[in-house]
């Protein structure tokens, strides 16, 4: 096997030790997978200089930065693949500068992430998890035991980031009779919903905010105290994008002070660590960055990563190119 | 107040002690509310024969039967109002026979119940509450800690009962990319979805069943072991209609034996008691018959009950007549 491997294109892993499971057996046979496992990438490379000098592709993962530093360590690198929709862990301009291609998950997770966003919004609004918890503590039940729930139908929902996921969230929520508006970098000519040029204005005019935008220097901490106060005491924030879009300590403060009504969070500022103060709040529903982790999508991303690698090493166009 | 009351139309309550709160103050001033509180109806009437002999209207509640027995005790009764969509607690043919009108909730709760049905289906499928519970027990999180979740998009969902609620559920689920079919007493000419004439066939051809039909002698225990086995090991059952549509002990057995994948239940056979064996199952999401209990709908039903009573005592047509 080691001898066979020598002739296979080398792919280095840069992520959690289990990342290599994202390459299905059928695809992994076609590559020489180099897995530093629990070692930090730079440490592994420094002790395997020769092996790594001919690595052409990297499979990386959110939370594991691919910056100029990592790229310098791999002089032959020409492709970075991430099994994620977000690419904020990759220094794209440095990749561009070095002529390194990047492939992502394309729209593979859009439906799941949109489903999750809607699920979190209904859950917080109608108090589904809270009622489940409450019921399991006391039976017979009486409505007076249960937290106050609210209607979803007719609610005004502001979507931050009107890309593929934002569009899918809007489409689903319209079927619930919600009224949609949005904010994004620019007004989108093909999007029919009302546009607000700032997140504060969007919050002022809506009952809920759903965050579906990319994280970058412009969007970091875009949901600050001012936005939360504009959203108001019954307002709900759903985040299925990136934790750092929200000033998390302010969110906690506003939730505890009753300045906003509730939150549904799939992402956190210090993932995979979650601030345990969230656990005490009955009006918060937490999800472990699971927007992409349905069984079907896991199979799908494994295939997609393999197909991008196959395409790259056959000099064909990437299936889901980022750059 | 007692003197004033003598001239007001009498409305007797037959339900939980807090039922009179369903009549808003503005409406309750227009009626002489007779509330047996914790006394059973027949016992209250037997000790208040004179008072009850001129009761023209009753406000009843699911779980508190209005049968020939109760009706006989109230010889002047001409109207029964229930603040529910379901009327299985009322002997409608006996009411018809006695010339007693019945008013229900009409479609007031349809949107909320449909929202809840979709919420329960997503929750069980994508493991929202289970992941929330799991995350609150351990951080940092890793995807391997969490229960396997499934995609909603593309799932085939069979709806039992294609009335107003069934239609609203179908409409919402179509926006998620689900494929809809249905079973009802008869094929509905205006409904575009494929029709199956039995619930077993519907279960055989779908990944999930959503129960939205009325409870009656034909539908009682319609979801039996045969239906559950036909639905299969990854199948999900959602019930937002009435508990007795399902053979609950069989459901528990099938869930525990892994013969079906999960269940989302807003209703139970012995409400308000819930079989505590459900509490041990991670693939079950429970809701306390809450389909109608959003804050907005509670205000709405209070007004609607009042308006039906007002209409009846002014000899106008009922707002939301059942018979």
Query: What residue in A sits closest to B300 (Cα-Cα)?
Result: A151
> How many CB pairs below 8 A link A and B?
183
**How close does chain A come to B265, measured CA to CA in Å?**
10
pLDDT band at A292 (very low <50, low <70, confident <90, very high): low
Residue partners of A192: CB distance under 8 A and separation at least 6: none
Report DSSP letters for B272-284, one per residue: T---GGGGG-TTE
Q: Say yes or no for a CB contact (<8 Å) between A115 and B153.
A: yes
Residue A189 zone, left/alpha/beta (φ > 0; ψ -120 to 50; rest): alpha
Which has more confidence, B298 or A74? Answer: A74
Class of domain B110-286: alpha beta
Q: Of the listed A226, A259, A269, A271, which one is catalytic?
A: A271
Residues of B in contact with A153 (CB under 8 A): 111-112, 115
3-state secondary structure B130-198: HHHHHHHHCCCCCHHHCCCECCCCCCEEEEECCCHHHHHHHHHHHHCCCEEEEECCCCCCCCCCCECCC
Closest CB from B112, B115, B151 relative to A297: B151
**How close does chain A come to B296, measured CA to CA in Å?**
6
Closest CB from A129, A136, A294 relative to B149: A294
Residues of B serving a catalytic function are 242, 271, 289
Q: Can you read off the two tokens belonging to residue B203?
A: 């279960």
Q: Does the structure show a pLDDT above 50 at A323?
A: yes
Residues of chain A with CATH 3.40.50.720: 2-108+295-313, 110-286
Q: What three-state secondary structure class fits A235?
A: coil
- Per-residue pLDDT at A18: 80
Query: What residue in A sits closest to B16 (Cα-Cα)?
Result: A142
What is the distance between the alpha carbons of residues A128 and A112, in angstroms, rounded to a whole number? 19
**How close does chain B come to A69, measured CA to CA in Å?**
26
Residues of B in contact with A133 (CB under 8 A): 129, 133
Q: What is the DSSP letter of A64?
A: S
Q: How far apart are the first and last CA of chain A?
A: 34
Nearest to A16 by CA among B145, B151, B254: B145
Report the complex ipTM.
0.86
H/E element, A239: strand A236-239
Q: Can you read off the two tokens belonging to residue B221?
A: 């225990």
- Summarised one tens digit per residue, pLDDT across range A103-159 is 999 999 999 999 999 999 999 999 999 989 888 887 677 766 777 889 999 999 999
What is the distance between the alpha carbons of residues B47 and A239, in angstroms, rounded to a whole number? 59
Q: Does the structure show a pLDDT above 90 at A317?
A: yes
- The DSSP bridge partners found for residue B237 are B209, B263
Those residues of chain B that have pLDDT short of 50 are 1-2
Q: Give the C-alpha distances (Å, rounded to integers) separating B136 from B19, B132, B201.
A: 37, 6, 40
Average pLDDT for chain A = 92
Q: Give the C-alpha distances (Å, rounded to integers) separating B219 from A48, A93, B280.
A: 69, 63, 28
- Per-residue pLDDT at A91: 97
Do the bridges between strand B284-286 and strand B79-81 make them parallel or antiparallel, or are there none, so unpaired?
Answer: unpaired
A96 is catalytic: no
Q: Say yes or no for a CB contact (<8 Å) between B142 and A279.
A: no
Residues of A in contact with B115 (CB under 8 A): 122, 126, 151-153, 176
Class of domain B2-108+295-313: alpha beta
H/E element, B11: strand B10-14
Q: Say yes or no for a CB contact (<8 Å) between A111 and B177.
A: yes
Interior CA angle at B276 toward B271 and B282, to 5°? 115
- Per-residue pLDDT at B1: 42
- Summarised one tens digit per residue, pLDDT across range A8-56 is 999 999 998 888 877 777 788 899 999 998 899 999 999 999 999 999 9
What is the distance between the alpha carbons of residues B153 and B85, in angstroms, rounded to a whole number? 30
């Amino acid at each position: 096997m080691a001898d066979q491997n020598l002739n296979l294109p080398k792919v280095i892993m840069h992520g959690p030790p289990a990342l290599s499971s994202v390459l299905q057996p059928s695809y992994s046979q076609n590559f020489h997978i180099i897995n530093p496992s629990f070692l930090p990438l730079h440490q592994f490379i420094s002790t395997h200089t020769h092996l790594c000098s001919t690595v052409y592709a990297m499979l990386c993962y959110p939370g594991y930065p691919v910056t100029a530093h990592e790229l310098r360590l791999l002089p032959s690198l020409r492709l970075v693949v991430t099994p994620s929709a977000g690419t904020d862990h990759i220094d794209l301009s440095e990749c561009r500068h070095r002529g390194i291609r990047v492939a992502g998950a394309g729209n593979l997770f859009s439906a799941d992430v949109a489903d999750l966003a809607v699920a979190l919004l209904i859950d917080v609004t109608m108090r589904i998890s809270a009622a489940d918890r409450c019921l399991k503590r006391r039976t017979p039940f009486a409505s007076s035991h249960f937290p106050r729930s609210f209607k979803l139908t007719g609610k005004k929902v502001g979507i931050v980031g009107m890309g593929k996921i934002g569009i899918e969230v809007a489409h689903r929520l319209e079927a619930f009779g919600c009224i949609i508006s949005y904010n994004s970098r620019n007004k989108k000519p093909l999007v029919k919903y009302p546009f607000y040029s700032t997140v504060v204005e969007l919050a002022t005019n809506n009952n809920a905010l759903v965050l579906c935008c990319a994280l970058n220097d412009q969007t970091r901490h875009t949901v600050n105290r001012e936005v939360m106060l504009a959203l108001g005491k019954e307002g709900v924030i759903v985040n299925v994008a990136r934790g750092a879009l929200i000033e998390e300590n302010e969110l906690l403060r506003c939730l505890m002070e009753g300045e906003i009504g509730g939150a549904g969070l799939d992402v956190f500022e210090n993932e995979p660590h979650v601030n345990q103060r969230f656990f005490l709040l009955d009006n918060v529903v937490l999800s472990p960055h699971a927007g992409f982790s349905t069984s079907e999508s896991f199979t799908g991303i494994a295939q997609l990563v393999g197909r991008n690698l196959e395409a790259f090493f056959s000099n064909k166009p990437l299936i889901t190119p980022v750059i």
